[in-house]
Chain A
Amino acid sequence: MTQYFNPFVIPFTVGVLLLFGICVFKWVRWVRQFDRLQRTLLRKNILSWKFIPAIWEVVFEVLFHRKVFKRSFVLGYMHTSIALGWFLLIVVGAIEASTAIAGSHPLWVPIFFKYFGKELPHFQGELFFNFLMDLLLCFVLSGLLLAMSKRIYSQVVGMKKATKHVLFDKFTMISLWLIFPLRLIAESVTANRYHNGGFLTQSLGELIRNIFPIVSQNAFWYFETTWWLFYSLALGIFFTAMPFSRYMHILTEPFLIYFRRLGIKEDNKPTGFTKFELSACSRCGICIDNCPLFKELNITDVQSVYLLREIRYKRLKEEIANNCLMCDRCVVDCPVGLELTKIRRQTRYKKELDTAGNYKYVDDIQPFNAIGRVAYYSGCMSHLTPGIAQAMYHIFEAAGQKYWHIDAEKTICCGRPLLQQGFEQQATDLRRKNTALIRESNATMLVTSCPICYQSFKKEYKLNIPVMHHTEYIDKCLKEKKISIEKQDLKVAYHDPCELGRGCGVYKAPRNVLKKAVKLVSLKNEKDKSLCCGFNLGNTAIEKEDQKKIRDAALQNLLRKKPDIIATACPMCKKALMHGVDNQVKDVAEIVSENLQK
């Protein structure tokens, strides 16, 4: 056994032991902090078949970084070369060691195999292993080169803005960067002496022999173990710093993917699962580039990457938490698939300000008997764009559908705007009243015109009837031939509202409807990549002038193909867009109602 020991393995071994000790301690603590629902799901599904797709996803996301590749090839290559390359270096190294050494050997041997294997007898496939290990090291080093140039000029990997890291992250990053060049040098020096290198390490070894005179060449030999010690130190430092730095994501993400497959989700309050999410953020900064606050207002310190970091290090400032449109654009981009908007909402919780019983006044509203009717909830904002409700009346009548307009006169808010600002109890109060009203009415279905309400009814309410946005309802009526429309020769650009599109995944219904009524043009940024109108209720930190800049960017995207009309499906977006443009801005319902066939 002693032939496989040299003091230089100590930093590495200590680092690995610390790393796994700290990680296991953290993970166990986080799992114990799961709330009841999350714990039930974990217990119920822990040994289910969901294990298999989770492994699949771990391989594709953690090793291959599939979602990063989708974003940009170079960026994907950078991440994959380091992750997959390093992983394979460890795996192939372990295979090589067990091929070369009969019987057991300490765990560090594969990591320092070139050193410990230098005087072993030749074994089958030695040349192949030498070649493969060098190839893998090349692969990692190429990624490293990209990573370094990204720090200087982020456009190299297709990013407009790279994350601005804290000092500790930079320190850990440099220790990671040093690992591979040091390994290369250590292996080359050993290869120089024992001729056991591959195409890269052997050549570099020969180069050292040829460039330096005989004295310094010998000096390289005397310091052989010193180079290996440096390599081991870099590993040890990196492993010890890892659980406290952004690199914790490497080991946390597989667990997060598995938990997500078991059905575990973020709750309204932060739990142990949130801690897994916070640590699974790699701070890659992909969330920054498409953030409207960065693109239009050049605000660079509030994006999700910084939010998560500040929460994790327990020093979050309110200004960061509040300055976000909650448009979900970063959620689409996040390669780890974190529930960024939900985590942000947790941080806005207002504690003692969130008093109960503020809305006793809504209790006076009497229930309505709506048996056989569709309940129509136009939402607060529709009261500023009454054309939408008028159009819906028209459509209901044409479809021969009796309806009940819940908030025709007195409006009870759906509660989502309060929830977005962290007033949970108050939002619950409003939800309770609305739920009671809708249940007692015995209506057959709920149709809503406002995507904010729609998302609320879909996700936060527990109603016993189907909930539809009006575009979905119109689409259904058209398919069932309850109504029919005449096609007009007009070019229309459709603006996807954040809450309807990214929030609820309704992309098809409004397009189906519009294609039957007009000529729909395609846009550069649409569907899940659509631009926010800037007036989303999520943000209370920016002022109207700034909101207008974001709106103008959205308009620019819409106007590129010179449409006759801009269509949208949200009263808020309509109100926002119509004041910034000469073209007509119409809701999908209005376009349909104008072109109904009698």
Chain B
Amino acid sequence: MIDFGYQINKGRTINLDVDRAPLKELEKVVPSFQSCIRCGSCTATCSAAQFTDFNIRKIHTKFSAGLHDELAEMLKPCMLCGKCTLVCPRGVNLRALVVNLRKILKEKEL
């Protein structure tokens, strides 16, 4: 076979049938979490992201997918200044999200 320099990625499996309880719990205290469209405005305006690779959108996405490892650590750089909440076009209460996410992850020891 001729090698054209391309390759096909090996099939990757993400198990999405994980524990949904943390997600449900967050959605209960921060209902606006569900309206997120992953536009990334929050991350674009973030103060902490100017210094680090802190990425609230990534955290958001990982958490919705049930991928909890290292999330608690990833949340640490947030200074809660609230710019993300003001710019969010969907009205997601991101400050509440960070505070509650920190709490839920601690409670569930994730």
Contact = CB atoms under 8 A, between A and B. Distances in A.
Contacts of B32: 543-544
Interface string B65-86: 0000000000011011111001
A361 interface: yes
Contact of A417 (B77, B79, B93): B79
B87 A411 contact: no
B77 A361 contact: yes
A537 B86 contact: no
Contact of B81 (A380, A543, A545): A380
Interface string A412-433: 1101011001010010001000
B50 interface: yes
A44 interface: no
A358 B75 CA distance: 9
Given A541-B96, A543-B91, A544-B32, A410 B51 contact: yes
Given A353-B106, A411-B50, A543-B31, A381 B80 contact: no
A541 B31 CA distance: 10
B102 interface: yes
Contacts of A409: 50
A295 interface: no
B39 to A, nearest CB: 15
B87 A384 contact: yes
A144 B50 CA distance: 63
A537 B77 contact: no
Contacts of B86: 381, 384, 535, 572, 575-576
A223 to B, nearest CB: 60
A546 B99 CA distance: 19
A417 B81 contact: yes
Interface string B33-47: 000000000000101
B95 interface: yes
B7 interface: no
Contacts of A362: 51
Contacts of B103: 350, 353
A544 B77 contact: no
A421 B77 CA distance: 15
The DSSP consensus for interface residues of chain B is helix
A364 interface: yes
Nearest to A430: B79
B13 interface: no
Nearest to B51: A361
A263 to B, nearest CB: 32
B48 to A, nearest CB: 8
A352 interface: yes
A540 B102 contact: no
Nearest to B31: A543
A364 B51 contact: yes
Contact of A411 (B76, B81, B95): B81
A355 interface: yes
A411 B32 CA distance: 27
A352 to B, nearest CB: 7
A303 B74 CA distance: 35
Nearest to B83: A380
Contacts of A430: 79
B45 A383 contact: yes
Nearest to B54: A361
Interface in A496-546: 535, 537, 540-541, 543-545
Contacts of B50: 409-411
Nearest to B75: A358
A359 interface: yes
Contacts of B87: 384
Point out which of B31, B50, B79, B96 has the most chain A C-beta atoms below 10 A from its C-beta.
Answer: B79
B91 A361 contact: no
B52 interface: yes
A551 to B, nearest CB: 12
A435 to B, nearest CB: 16
B105 to A, nearest CB: 9
Contacts of B52: 361
Given A421-B99, A540-B95, A358 B80 contact: no
Nearest to A409: B50
A421 B80 contact: yes
Contacts of B100: 540
A318 to B, nearest CB: 9
Given A355-B76, A413-B47, A381 B82 contact: yes
Contact of B99 (A380, A540, A543): A540
Contact of A423 (B80, B91, B96): B80
Contact of B79 (A359, A540, A545): A359
Given A352-B106, A384-B86, A543-B31, A413 B95 contact: no
A362 B51 CA distance: 7
Contacts of B76: 355, 358
A142 to B, nearest CB: 48
Point out which of A352, A353, A355, A576 has the most chain B C-beta atoms below 10 A from its C-beta.
Answer: A353
Contacts of B106: 352-353
A328 B79 CA distance: 23
Contacts of B96: 540-541
B95 A417 contact: yes
B93 A358 contact: no
Given A410-B47, A544-B91, 5 more contacts: A350-B103, A410-B50, A410-B51, A417-B79, A540-B99
Would you list the 4 A-B pairs with minimal beta carbon distance, nearest first? Answer: A544-B91, A540-B96, A380-B81, A413-B79
Interface of A: 350, 352-353, 355, 358-359, 361-362, 364, 380-381, 383-384, 409-413, 415, 417-418, 421, 423, 426, 430, 535, 537, 540-541, 543-545, 572, 575-576
14 contacts: A352-B106, A353-B106, A358-B77, A361-B48, A362-B51, A380-B79, A380-B82, A381-B82, A410-B50, A412-B47, A537-B95, A540-B100, A544-B32, A572-B86
